[in-house]
Structure 1
Amino acid sequence: MDSIIDFAKQHATLLSAVFALILLITLYFVFNAEKMVAAKIQKLRREKKILLVDDKHFPYFDELAVSYNIEKEKDLDAEKMEQILDGVYSIILLDIKGVGKKLKIHNEGFGIIEYIKNQKPSQKIIVFSDEEWGLQHQDILERADKRFAKTKGLLSFKSAIDDMLLGNSMELLSKLAALMRVLKIWKKNLSKLSISVYA
């Protein structure tokens, strides 16, 4: 312990400068994190493709089309299914009722969820419907990444899409917050150390 205190006494100014630099860099990233995420989400919204599959009118399509790279199909054919399995679409927005007929998939949207998740488990699927579904379909519905009533609201859909698009970026923000907590503890301990060095 004495050698650490001796080292701190000899290098107190340098240690303070290094800590201040690390703190400034971290604060820069933390304070700019919101701007960085906003810029990233705008870029991802333009770049990542989203497929909406709904045999009827989807109430938020026009609003989503303003901000996202989204296309709409009334049903899936073999070509679209192949594109999904090839990873062309980052996210699938899928209605439960009235879809899957072209491919003769049993159980409509439930069958599509099951087929896609069996073939490509990492495919992000947001499922929605106007109807309530019984317990017999719960195991399949749980395989979807998000589930909404069709009338849930535009902001709920946008939030779910953005969360899926950001994925690892949200993890980065969590790590930055954790780093800030560590730096606060470090600063507190360094302050105690410098008090004992100068005492």
Structure 2
Amino acid sequence: MHELLIGLIVTAGGSLLNFISTKIYNSVTGSSKNFIWKNTYPALKSIQTPLEFEELKKRTRIVVIDDEDSFPISLFQAENYSIDKWAAVKDYSKLENGFYDIIVLDIKGVALHISVDDGLGVLESIKRKNPSQIIIAYSQHSFDLSKAKFWELADEKIAKPSDYLKIKNIIDTLIDSKFKPGRYIETLHSILRKNGYDEIEIKKLDKELIKVIKNKQQPDWSNILDFASNKPELVHQIITIGNTLLKFFK
């Protein structure tokens, strides 16, 4: 009886020690192991939901910002693309916060009210605030070499006027190649690394995003990003990219 009691105490003590150890390990490393040291949460990349192109197309919000009527909006609408048309930048916050997944941006005559560099200034500003934003530079003007850095930021360039099929091919290619959860995950990780955060913090962010996805809830960004509360631009970038990423799991 005495030996049985000692055995039970040792077993209970070992289980408690193991439980405490896993809690400490998870807290320090950002991992999600349970008491038998198996991961309770998979890697963020492993829960990607594969979507057919037609479904991706339906989910992709596109805005065309052009002071002329050269873009074949009606043809895209007839093919069930979700597409808006602005004659000039009228709601910059929507461009900056990732509301639109693809921005087709005329580089002349659309943004002088907010930037001396017009559309090119908007392009640079958006890419700084949200590096994952897909932007097509749209222009009938020859490329100004003095603005080379702006052009390099664009994901694609379209000369206008261009026919519907050429534009459609470019947009479809961008949807198929860049409007993917894996790309947004990689961008999030890259931004954190560039700001000096290690793999432990990256794992912690992944874990919190997985919780949001599994529980089908709205993210509490102030709690999730408490580690970066003193870096408002970084917080803005993560929230914008994170919200775009979560679109794939709704």
1:130–1:45: structure 2 CA closer, same or farther, 3 Å change rule? same
1:122–1:169: structure 2 CA closer, same or farther, 3 Å change rule? closer
Q: CA separation in 2, counterparts of 1:57 and 1:169?
A: 26
> Tell me, what secondary structure is at the counterpart of 1:148?
strand
1:84 aligns with 2:90: no
- Provide, for residues 5-41 of structure 1, a one-character-per-residue CA deviation record: whole Å limited to 9, x for no partner: xxxxxxxxxxxxxxxxxxxxxxxxxxxxxxxx9x822
- Provide, for residues 114-159 of structure 1, a one-character-per-residue CA deviation record: whole Å limited to 9, x for no partner: 1111111110001111111221012211110001111232222111
1:113 is matched with which residue?
123
> AA paired with 2:164?
L
Q: CA separation in 2, counterparts of 1:169 and 1:151?
A: 25
Structure 1: 5+ residue runs without aligned partners? 1-36, 171-199
> Tell me, what secondary structure is at the counterpart of 2:67?
coil
Which of the numbers 114, 135, 138 marks the counterpart of 2:145?
A: 135
- Provide, for residues 140-185 of structure 1, a one-character-per-residue CA deviation record: whole Å limited to 9, x for no partner: 1111000111123222211121122122699xxxxxxxxxxxxxxx
Q: CA separation in 2, counterparts of 1:95 and 1:48?
A: 19
Q: CA RMSD in A?
A: 2.3
Aligned residues: 131
> Tell me, what secondary structure is at the counterpart of 2:104?
strand
TM-score normalised according to structure 2 size: 0.48
Give the 4+ runs in structure 1 shifted more than 2 A: 167-170
1:122 aligns with 2:135: no
Q: CA deviation at 1:51?
A: 0.7
Q: CA separation in 2, counterparts of 1:87 and 1:150?
A: 25
> AA paired with 1:123?
Q
Q: CA separation in 1, counterparts of 2:56 and 2:100?
A: 12
Q: Is the 8 A contact 2:139 2:158 kept in 1?
A: yes
> Tell me, what secondary structure is at the counterpart of 1:93?
strand
TM-score normalised according to structure 1 size: 0.60
1:146 is matched with which residue?
156
Structure 2: 5+ residue runs without aligned partners? 1-49, 181-250
Q: CA separation in 2, counterparts of 1:93 and 1:55?
A: 12
Relative to its length, the structure with more helix (as a share) is 1
Q: Is the 8 A contact 1:75 1:101 kept in 2?
A: no
Report which of the two structures shows the higher radius of gyration computed on alpha carbons: 1
